[in-house]
Amino acid sequence: MVNYYNAFEISPVPPPGLDVKPPEVYRGIYGMPMFVTIPTSDLAASVDFWVRGLGFIDLFTIPGRLTHVRRWAFQDALLVPSGTGEVPAVSVSFACVLGQIDAIAQACEALMPGCTTGPRPTPWNTVDLQVITPENARVVLTAARLLEPGSDQARNLQAIGIVPES
């Protein structure tokens, strides 16, 4: 048996809800517990898409070498110029709140029509938006839904050992 406990106090992700406000973009410098490095054939276009489409900030840039983009705390990506040849695909997921999903989808579609799939509900009680970026990265923005006690989602989570605290 696995014992889970509530550890939301260490996360920037707010509890689920329809009117939940997202946290502010985090501009502090810290040791990153996780990040992705994404090669791109057009660094400027990729930075523009991540900033104007996905809602990240350009935390800092080393011209011609690297741009560090970020949304919330612990949502870091390093965009780097690719060498020659095909850029490898990568997949990464970032948490968001339900109220952000549609606006992000619209912003990304305005910049690169056809780049989004969803949003769609998942069996694990989230709504996911998939975005393919200019560098062929698969970015999934995932927002938690309220968990209705006794619902199919609650039973599915309980079946795998995840039981929310009351």
- Among 4, 26, 47, which Cα is nearest to 160's? 4
The residues spanned by each domain of the chain are 16-26+34-159
Predicted model pTM = 0.71
Tokens representing 82 are: 């690719």
* Order of strands, sheet of 57-62, starting from the edge strand that comes earlier in the sequence: 35-40, 76-81, 66-70, 57-62
- pLDDT confidence of residue 158: 75
The confidence score (pLDDT) of residue 84 equals: 61
Q: Does residue 104 have a pLDDT over 90? A: yes
pLDDT for 19-64, tens place per residue? 989 999 998 888 777 788 888 889 999 999 999 999 999 999 888 8
Task: Read off the amino acid at residue 158.
Answer: Q
* Residue of 82, 92, 72 whose CA lies nearest to 32: 72
Instruction: Specify the pLDDT at position 93.
Output: 85
Mean pLDDT of 94-118: 96
Give the whole-number percent of the chain exceeding pLDDT 70: 91
More confident residue, 14 or 8: 14
Quote the mean pLDDT of the chain.
87
Fold of the domain spanning 16-26+34-159: 2,3-Dihydroxybiphenyl 1,2-Dioxygenase; domain 1 (3.10.180)
